[in-house]
């Protein structure tokens, strides 16, 4: 076996592992460093993942779940290899014994997924043009080569369903002129992610994650919101009403009645209390991390994992979003995360996802969000192919109220898409994921950052002319079109063409005879006015009341809708009525925390940080004082 610097079994045994995980191949890789230097790394391929470590320190630099790979590009003229990670930046290295490594990676991939890993071959010596950067990944852009560069001799699985591209080609041949034939197949990335989530949920790894909750320093409960809820059997709670004062820029103070709400750091919050009533000891106890039991891993995002957890004090379930401080520092996302926390805590609305607790320790921040059982709109749309118009109207009306509420409080959401809309068991929705939400100043309510999902980007964001609240109304127009037709209006297989169509393309509505998709004239008018290229002429520019008063909503009783007094025309499929058996039964994708149309890869070593990461967090500790 090739000699590598400071590598071997001792290093592997120091890393968090899957049960019975085995090193299959180890080799050396080099990355370009500065202008004329290269840095050496060790590469381990196991039966689940690829691990890259610094050869001089043995510190882990990156872990790539092999089942999440989208493809590999190799050079015919050099040792350069690009690992296409999908949803995150690609990895490019010069790898000695590259063919041995690629052969093992594709075999592990096929074992995990029963699919072929696409292998692309380029005649170019360097492969920089095929490397997706972090910024491009966040925008949903991929530089992976097209199918013409794919080496089909690299296939291991020989059947017609083993390649997603072949399946898509066959569907295209069935009716190449029909743009509204549903070609949507569940993204390969999401299928593999579900398989990897199952791997993450092995009992030994769950135990490892549970121990990690208490090994990162003392935890501090920053915020606790106690909601009126039915007590679990065997426990008694006395729910009391309290008064609190809510202050904002427009209203000096407003006294309202609410249910058990408590802020533990009044100095940093806009919520302060007039009076407090006594609670039962158990209900009044401030929860710590050790009071939550991890049930399973639900998802993996850019900043950490999302777990389903149970509060051992009251038996209630939450979605615990665990956020790594070192990643927030590196990606300069501290301010955005503070905005997300503030929005989730300060604003309550029937159609916004709620948060009950915020806890932090030395290394991480924990958001305890409402657990929503019915999945997100994307998952439900995939089941039914497309929603009926009256169902779309029901969803849209709730989002109009949610956006109206946010805009009244000076907040623009900027990331509406089916994945970020959750469905409760009652068929009502919750708008989620405020990672891109931003408060806008009253005097100049514009921001200039480039963010969002490609298919949902407004023209003014692409042109970087500055954008305001009207981008949310644009995304609503895209969403209702997609929910009804099964595709977004400016979709193109080439991302660059998609952005050109967004800026200059016209909206094409389906033919009711050819495509069997009926859309009322009021519905088409609603979409057309929401998708006006000029923000100043877009529906909702003057006020959300213009959206509420559109003829398409003439049969909506807004007050009854807000109070959830209208029966939902669509009910999500929930196999088990009992929440705990429902959870343990394997429903693991009930949250819409994916940041992109293509989900991020996961890793299993999050509970241990390299010394360099620990040092980074300690040096920036003061930046988290306001959490």
Catalytically annotated residues: 415
Q: What is the C-alpha to C-alpha distance for residues 395 and 367, in angstroms, rounded to an integer?
A: 26
Query: Positive or negative, the Cα torsion across 487, 488, 490, 496?
Result: negative
Q: Which of 85, 200, 147 is nearest to 599 (CA)?
A: 85
Cα separation of 188 and 164, whole Å?
7
Report d(CA 473, CA 17) in Å as an integer. 46
Burial of 577 (0-12, 13-18, 19+ CB in 10 A): exposed
Name the DSSP letter for residue 284.
H
Place of tokens 């840095």: 39
CA end-to-end span of the chain, whole Å?
50
Name the residue among 251, 422, 256, 253 with its Cα closest to residue 350: 422
Are 537 and 377 in contact by the 8 Å Cβ rule? The answer is no
d(CA 544, CA 469): 10
Nearest alpha-carbon partner for 60 in 6, 135, 109, 112: 6
Contact present, 59 and 609 (Cβ < 8 Å):
no
Q: Is 215 exposed, middle or buried (0-12, 13-18, 19+ CB in 10 A)?
A: exposed
Bridge-based pairing of strands 220-225 and 355-360 is antiparallel
> Which is it for strands 119-122 and 71-75: parallel, antiparallel or unpaired?
parallel
Nearest to 377 by CA among 318, 321, 433, 323: 433
CA atoms within 13 A on the CB side of 510: 25
């Amino acid at each position: 076996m090739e000699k590598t610097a400071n590598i071997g079994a001792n290093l592997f045994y120091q890393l968090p592992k899957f049960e019975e995980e085995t090193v299959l191949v180890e080799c050396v890789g080099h990355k370009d460093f500065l202008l004329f230097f290269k840095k050496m790394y060790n590469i381990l391929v196991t039966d689940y993942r690829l691990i890259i470590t610094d050869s001089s320190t043995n510190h882990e630099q990156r872990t790539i779940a092999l089942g999440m790979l989208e493809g590999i590009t190799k050079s015919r003229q050099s040792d350069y290899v690009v690992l296409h990670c999908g949803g995150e930046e690609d990895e490019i290295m010069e790898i000695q014994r590259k063919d041995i490594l690629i052969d093992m990676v594709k075999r592990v991939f096929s074992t995990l997924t029963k699919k072929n890993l696409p292998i692309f071959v380029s005649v170019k010596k360097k492969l920089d043009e095929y490397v997706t950067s972090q910024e491009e990944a966040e925008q949903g852009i991929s530089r992976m080569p097209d199918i013409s560069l794919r080496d089909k001799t690299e296939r291991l699985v020989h059947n017609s369903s083993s390649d997603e591209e072949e399946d898509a080609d066959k569907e295209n041949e069935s009716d190449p002129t029909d743009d509204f034939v549903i070609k949507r197949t569940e993204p390969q990335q999401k299928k593999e992610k579900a398989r990897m989530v199952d791997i993450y949920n092995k009992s030994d790894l769950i135990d490892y994650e549970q121990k990690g909750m208490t090994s990162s320093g003392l935890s501090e409960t920053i915020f606790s919101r106690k909601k009126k809820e039915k007590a679990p059997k065997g426990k008694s709670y006395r729910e009391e009403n309290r008064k609190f004062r809510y202050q904002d820029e427009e209203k000096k103070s407003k006294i309202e009645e609410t249910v058990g709400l408590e802020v533990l750091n009044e100095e940093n919050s806009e919520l302060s209390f007039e009076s407090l009533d006594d609670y039962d000891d158990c209900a009044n106890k401030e929860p710590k991390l050790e009071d939550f039991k991890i049930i399973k891993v639900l998802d993996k995002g850019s900043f950490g994992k999302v777990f389903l957890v149970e509060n051992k004090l009251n038996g209630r379930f939450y979605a615990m979003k665990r956020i790594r401080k070192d990643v927030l520092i590196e990606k300069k996302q501290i301010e955005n995360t503070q905005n997300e926390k503030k929005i989730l805590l300060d604003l309550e609305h029937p159609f916004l996802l709620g948060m009950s607790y915020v806890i932090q320790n030395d290394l991480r921040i924990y958001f305890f969000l409402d657990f929503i059982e019915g999945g997100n709109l994307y998952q439900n749309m995939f089941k039914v192919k497309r929603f009926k118009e009256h169902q779309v109207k029901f969803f849209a009306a709730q989002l109009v109220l949610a956006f109206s509420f946010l805009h009244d409080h000076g907040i623009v959401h900027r990331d509406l898409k089916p994945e970020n809309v959750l469905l409760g068991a009652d068929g009502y929705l919750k708008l989620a994921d405020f990672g891109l939400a931003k408060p806008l100043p009253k005097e100049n309510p514009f921001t200039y950052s480039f963010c969002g999902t490609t298919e949902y980007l407004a023209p003014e964001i692409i042109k970087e002319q500055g954008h305001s609240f009207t981008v949310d109304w644009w995304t609503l127009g895209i969403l209702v079109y997609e929910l009804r037709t099964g595709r977004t209006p400016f979709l193109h297989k080439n991302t660059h063409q998609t952005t050109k169509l967004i800026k200059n393309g016209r909206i094409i509505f389906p033919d009711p005879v050819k495509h069997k998709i009926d859309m009322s004239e009021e519905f088409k008018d609603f979409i057309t006015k929401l998708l006006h290229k000029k923000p100043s002429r877009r529906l909702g520019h003057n006020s959300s009341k213009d959206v509420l008063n559109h003829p398409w909503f003439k049969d909506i009783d807004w007050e009854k809708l807000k109070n959830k007094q209208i029966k939902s025309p669509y009910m999500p499929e929930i196999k088990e009525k009992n929440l705990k058996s429902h959870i343990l039964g394997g429903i693991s994708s009930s949250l819409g925390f994916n940041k992109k149309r293509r989900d991020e890869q996961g890793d299993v070593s999050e509970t241990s940080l390299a010394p360099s990461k620990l040092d980074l967090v300690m040096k920036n500790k003061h930046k988290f004082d306001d959490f």
